[in-house]
A and B are shown apart, each in its own frame.
Chain A
Amino acid sequence: MIRATDLRKHFRVHKRPPGLAAAVRSLWHRKYETVKAVDGISFAIARGERVGFLGPNGAGKTTTLKTLSGLLHPTSGTVEVEGHTPFRREGAFLRQITLVMGQKQQLLWDLPPADTFAMNRALYDVPVAQFDATMKELTELLDLGPLVTKPTRQLSLGEHMKCELACALLHRPTTLFLDEPTIGLDVSMQLAIREFIRDYNQRHEATVILTSHYMEDVVALCPRVIVIDGGRLIHDGDLRGLIKTMHPGKLVSFTLTAPMADDELARLGAITREGNRVVVQIAEAALREAVGHLLASASVTDLSIEDPPLEVVMRALFKDGAAPATT
């Protein structure tokens, strides 16, 4: 169980205007500003849940993750992870968690990943038999193969991230904090990592907390999302619920095989048109009738019905700044 109660993390930041005069003035007269990176958020996450943290840059997602993993001391409020207070960083706590940050590495740069794996085995005091079994499992799931004996500096970004993930999971943590784990990876590698995370979650009943700018990661992995903006929690609940609240209705896409006037289409809902391809946003109550009407029309083909993309929902959410009802 992870529980944060009225969690706050404020930073004191030195501010000065640009220019030489301001630089000289700041020698004896420094101005500081308090940045409220996390400003009173509360949530509880049960064992085995997969939760996505969403929010624009600087929203406070990574700060929350760092506080949950014990890297940062909260300014106020309480945090509890599997019965531990994270910032105390007790051995028993550190052995239960892992934090993967897409932009930071723990692999030793000039040595093959196998050397870092061996070091982590010793640091986490993992029995050799368990280490061998885990290594076998991770090699299979992540298709590591010969990568582990190649110098880390010679690995591609995708190979590197796979090895980072393996390294972070060697001690079989039960709580995974994943901060942008697919950043910079190509689509097929993103897919592989996503599948791996879901599989690990199911095999080990591990709790997964994920932040990602790739909405596909969140959609594919996280039934529940916590949305943070300006350090405050603005939504905590079902991902579909968020989409429905922010963007009621469905997107119906189809291709026109014969011309059809925009006025006629606009009767169904808000339309977006690109050549013959049309997307109409239709309210759920009117969906059945509208789709029936479209299918009956001889000039419509290739029709599909989808939820609005999460990117669109998030854009609307952060543009409006309006907090939807927390579920």
Chain B
Amino acid sequence: MSLRSTARAVPQLLRTGLAETVAYRAEFVVWMLTTTLPLVMLGLWTSVAADGEFRGYSSPDFVAYYLAALIVRNLTGSWVVWQINDEIRRGILAMRLLRPVHPFVAYAASHVAAVPLRGLIALPVTVILLATTARDSLTHDPLQIALILPSLAGAWLLTFAFLFGLGCLAFFIDKSMALLDVYFGVFAVLSGYLIPLSMLPSWLPTVARWLPFRFMLSAPVEVITGRELGAGGAAQLVALQWGYAALILALALALWRAGVRRFEAVGG
């Protein structure tokens, strides 16, 4: 299908995705509740820093960090890996393959459609809390503020492409979901979801700075909080993030192409 036809299909795909998100409202709220780990970490670290700075973070710094992490996680988290895995294993992916729009576009549109609703639930409270309790720990540089949206979009694309690729492993491995636990463990540590990357022990912060996981969560958090960055640093960070997103997307699509050749469309 031509790019123009695909582009024409996207608004309807977004509408359908939004309708599905609303239809699955209970599941949606439960899913959102599973992303509240930053709030737990926030409680923990603000009490550690109650008597003074800890590893360079004051109590408001921790508030800013974890609330920003909560926003990023809510807006960029994705369940596409479960979706693809299930559709491959049950053979119902067949129905997507028969449609003249690349399934990546269809999956992506349905996931993008959920973002506004997630924002509507997660943003008001967290933004008000950020503005009232951690205002001084956020960036005030207008150029850096302008980069927040591109960094969130980059984090979304990178996370989505990575999980899309992970889902494609079901073409090759029967129990590929076991790898998701490994992924989530690595992601939690190396993305800054659990603790800020600078607080990781020994040589890990240096390694984590160059791995893709940082750009899924820590990078937009760094742009929002502005720690040790500045507008120039933030721009470099976002450029690197989009580079990673393009690379991971290319790998995920290559994995998809190879996988579809092996697809057995079981059942029916």
Contacts and interface: CB of A to CB of B under 8 A. Distances in A.
Nearest to B27: A110
Contact of A72 (B9, B11, B264): B264
A110 B9 CA distance: 21
Contacts, number: 86
A101 interface: yes
Given A110-B20, A123-B9, A70 B97 contact: yes
B261 A73 contact: yes
Contact of B95 (A95, A105, A115, A118): A105
A125 B9 CA distance: 7
A104 B268 contact: yes
Interface in A66-81: 66, 69-73
A101 B94 contact: yes
A106 interface: yes
Interface string B214-243: 000000000000000000000000000000
B24 interface: yes
Interface residues of A, number: 36
A214 interface: no
Interface string A122-164: 1111000000000000000000000000000000000000000
Most buried by B among A70, A71, A108, A180: A71
A89 interface: yes
A71 B88 CA distance: 12
Given A72-B264, A91-B2, A125-B5, A104 B19 contact: no
Contacts of B92: 104-105
B267 interface: yes
A70 B98 contact: yes
B16 interface: yes
B23 interface: yes
Interface of A: 11, 62, 66, 69-73, 89, 91, 94-95, 97-99, 101-106, 108, 110-111, 115-116, 118-125, 179-180
